[in-house]
Chain A
Amino acid sequence: MLDKPASALRLRERLLDSERLMEETGCYDGITELTLRNQDPLKFETLHTKLRAYCVSAREMARRISASPGVREVGEMVVAIYTPEGDAIALSNGIMVHVHTMSRFIKWMIKNGYEDNPRIREGDIFANNDAFIGTVQVPDVMDVVPIFHEGTLVGWAGAVCHELEAGGITPGGDVCLAQERFTEGLFVCAEKIGENDEIRRDYVIRCERNLRMPIYWVLDEKAKVASCIDMRESVKQLISEIGLDYWMKVSKEFIEEGRRAQLARTRQLTVPGIYRGHTFYGHVTAGKPGFQLLGDPDWLYNIPIEMEITTDGKITMDFEGTQPWGYHSMNCTPAGMDGGMFVTLTQHMNFEGLVNDGAWMATELKLPHGTWTNPDNEMVATATSWALLLPAYGVFQRLLSRSFVARGFVEEAFVGQVNSPMIEMGGESQYGTPFGMAHFECAAAGSGALAIKDGLDTAYVGWNPESDMGNIEVWEQSMPMVYIGRSIVPNSGGAGKYRGGCSFVSTWLINKTSHLRLHTSEHSSRVFDNGGMCGGYPAPTCQKHRAVRNSNIHELAAKGEPLAHAPGIDPHVSDYERNIGGDHVVVEGPYITSPHKSGDIFSHSYNGGGGYGDVLERDPIKTAWDVENGFLTREAADQVFGIVLKDDEDGYPIADIDATVERRAAMRKERLAKAIPVADWIAKERGRVEKADFAPEVKKMYASAIKLSSRFTREFSEFWNVDARSIFMPGAKP
């Protein structure tokens, strides 16, 4: 193959030319006039609608091919159509985060000489799951196929599925124990995996021999290739109808139109200025089996974000001041950061008009080199990059929402997404066979509140706007655990005038297995990794894991004794401890432990969203409904919200409005009596800062941020009127 003449396509030159034109004109591919749109807007819009229909239809068809409940049940898939240079023209619903990561993958192949070797020909299939080439994490495996029309490359069709098993050091896809890329699982690095529309047998064999549950990955490959071929044939048919010249022009005008629309929407919905926010993530692994001591086991991550909206409508996000990459799986590549930006924009601003890579082009990310957002070492692991990505883009949602509130579009303000801790498992299945999978019921957390109503209960995650927890019966088919409970977690939404959406907790009985490895990731239990807005509180931290080994549940069931189906509302003693005998286990942070077996019980709580507005303004009548239906406890209604409830004749809670007014007036007075002027607090706190009187992990966080960012150092020093470097890095060279 190496001695073959270079391809005549010269895509690389075309791509570089397109980037140069964008640089010179500020418009995508140098398109300064939307000629075709102006000539016939109806035809223009109709064609884009057709492309979108091709995508949606191809995805739905492909989901029926997949064997994975992640794809079939909760829709962990997205497909898109690209220009020859790899810019997204149209996309389906689903995990839209990957539309732009696939764009990076295509461009990477073009820039790395794939035209010459391994060559790009009709019927070829390329796959990738390397985040430094273009994806978020190892389970996000993408396939693309070129679209040719009479020998000319006229575009690409691409598809991504999130694989439930990636063959890493721990089962599942979000490989929580991975500390370098070499333990993340099976990598496919921009590889040609098929020719003539057929996946190579040797590639399938590699998958079959390196995965715990190859049926998911292999059938997902077939599903993706089928969807790509479906889109490819539809596009070819369309080109035969509208002509090649028109296609080549209109496909690019779609993107330029998308870019302009994004700028226009920013000018319509927001207010220019500088917006700031932050969040944190607590990585707690000390003493957990399996973690190599490659770095400090416990690590507090700060994620500050500064967003600037300029009067031309451009949005820039700057992550300066955040932490360095580490020997854990939570690092993220620029591709993943792009993806987070894209999926957030598609939900918040691109709710009308053309949705494609144009929106992304109207934004800019500043990702400091050497941080977790842009590691300067390509050996780092990114398997659980969502752990930091989700909190980060939750901040982005709150910053955007501040701008919506300022502009008067209160109905668009949304406190945002939260982390979605995931359970993964492997070992011996209920059928006696080896297995491995990620449990995707996490795809339905509680959302942050809105500025006009409560958040969504068990119905939202930022990474898949089509959030769905899946049916219990479907999950039970795939794992050796049966549900003995799935219920709302009271108070799991952050408190506020509008509370965050509540999450749920599942409880399982481990069943028909002698070896079940259970692991969790994206689990920040030591700090809040979400936030509230305009006076609303953050949702609770990730709840601890509660399990019972060697439980007596079968004896209790045989006697007809009451069981426990949820942890309950006492944080000190769970209902499992009250009702079920056995060895009770409470684990903070990621759950990494010895295998479980039949008769054990395991529970896992998901996260709720942050609140909006002052708690003392919450509607008492709605709160009574919340208490009646298990979204809030009576204790919280009284103590947090100042709402006095009494019982009606049937024992249901009703609000006592007069008593509530009185109680809230007292609480407001108490609030003022307790509070001190901020200036006084700063003066007092400065002494603590000067002595660096903080936990070791907090001190390390400051030292790391100061080392990487002169701006963080300056701002910290100015705020406290101290020399931050001499406090946190004594002896370091200036």
Chain B
Amino acid sequence: MTSYSKEVLRDLAAGQLPWSQTRRIMSAYKDDDRFFKMVAVYQDRVAWKDPILLPVSDHLFICQSGDERITRCECGHSFGDYRKNWKLKAAINVRNTEEALREIYPNSDLPDPEWMEIREFICPQCGTLHEVEAAAPGYPIVHDFEPDLEGFYREWLGKPLQET
């Protein structure tokens, strides 16, 4: 069975593994022990102690925090119950003028801000840009991901989560 060390997976996640090695991982049969090893890699990366249950973005994790399961930024900021859209607890910067769009697209033609805006969802504590939406004005904020966390642990990982 294919398997990689935690150090290799740490470098892979950080984009620091040499390309030749990365390429071999991409082409090889997948390693069935990946999930928990990768969770361990992320757990080492964060300063907080809540056990990570699921990574959901580059720096966002669902974790077990006491009796609650919450979405937490790598910096430790809590976005609340993981079943709710974390974006609603974020800070936002909307680019809906040519001037604001030009800051990101200095040398290109721009979309029409009457038709389209950019919404930046930011961690209010550390300022990490967690997600960018390009949407028509008035379009509801998207709830990107509602994981079936319990089904995943119970049926796919064979390690049911403790009831909360």
Contacts and interface: CB of A to CB of B under 8 A. Distances in A.
B114 A411 contact: no
Interface stretch (B24-32, B43-51, B64-72): B24-32
Interface in A256-307: 267-269, 271-280, 282, 300, 302
B58 A640 contact: no
A298 to B, nearest CB: 9
A482 interface: no
A278 B129 contact: no
B160 interface: no
B106 A633 contact: yes
A623 to B, nearest CB: 14
Interface stretch (A27-35, A136-144, A417-425, A530-538): A530-538
Interface string A692-731: 0011011001100000000000011001100000000000
B161 interface: no
Interface in B144-158: 144-149, 151-152, 155-156
A720 B12 CA distance: 41
A591 B26 CA distance: 40
Most B CB atoms within 10 A — which of A277, A408, A453, A695?
Answer: A408
Interface in A669-705: 669, 671-672, 674-679, 681-682, 685, 688-689, 694-695, 697-698, 701-702
A279 B116 CA distance: 11
A569 B19 CA distance: 31
Interface string B81-99: 0000001111111100000
Interface stretch (A1-9, A87-95, A230-238, A610-618): A610-618
B58 A540 contact: no
A402 interface: yes
A535 B104 CA distance: 13
B115 A282 contact: yes
Contacts of A412: 26
A112 interface: no
Interface residues of B, number: 76
Interface in A416-453: 451-453
Given A678-B90, A697-B115, A689 B138 contact: yes
A525 B108 CA distance: 11
A347 interface: no
A681 B94 contact: yes
Contact of B140 (A273, A410, A674, A715): A715
A458 interface: no
A695 B114 contact: yes
Nearest to A608: B108
B144 A402 contact: yes
Contact of B58 (A279, A535, A541, A544): A535
A675 B92 contact: yes
B129 A615 contact: yes
Contacts of A274: 145-146, 148
Contact of A534 (B12, B130, B142, B155): B130
A405 B13 CA distance: 10
A526 interface: yes
A531 B134 contact: yes
Interface string B102-120: 0111111111101110101
A492 interface: yes
Contacts of A570: 107
Contact of A535 (B106, B132, B138, B139): B132
Contacts of B109: 525, 540-544, 571
Given A273-B149, A411-B26, A528-B134, 20 more contacts: A271-B156, A272-B147, A272-B151, A300-B136, A402-B144, A408-B34, A411-B12, A451-B58, A452-B13, A452-B15, A453-B19, A498-B15, A526-B112, A527-B136, A534-B130, A571-B107, A674-B93, A675-B93, A681-B94, A695-B137
Question: Top 4 closest A-B pairs, CB basis?
Answer: A408-B38, A675-B91, A719-B140, A540-B108
25 contacts: A271-B147, A272-B148, A272-B155, A272-B156, A276-B144, A276-B145, A277-B144, A278-B139, A406-B56, A408-B34, A452-B13, A453-B19, A490-B107, A491-B107, A498-B15, A525-B111, A534-B57, A541-B110, A543-B109, A671-B93, A671-B120, A672-B124, A679-B88, A694-B137, A702-B138
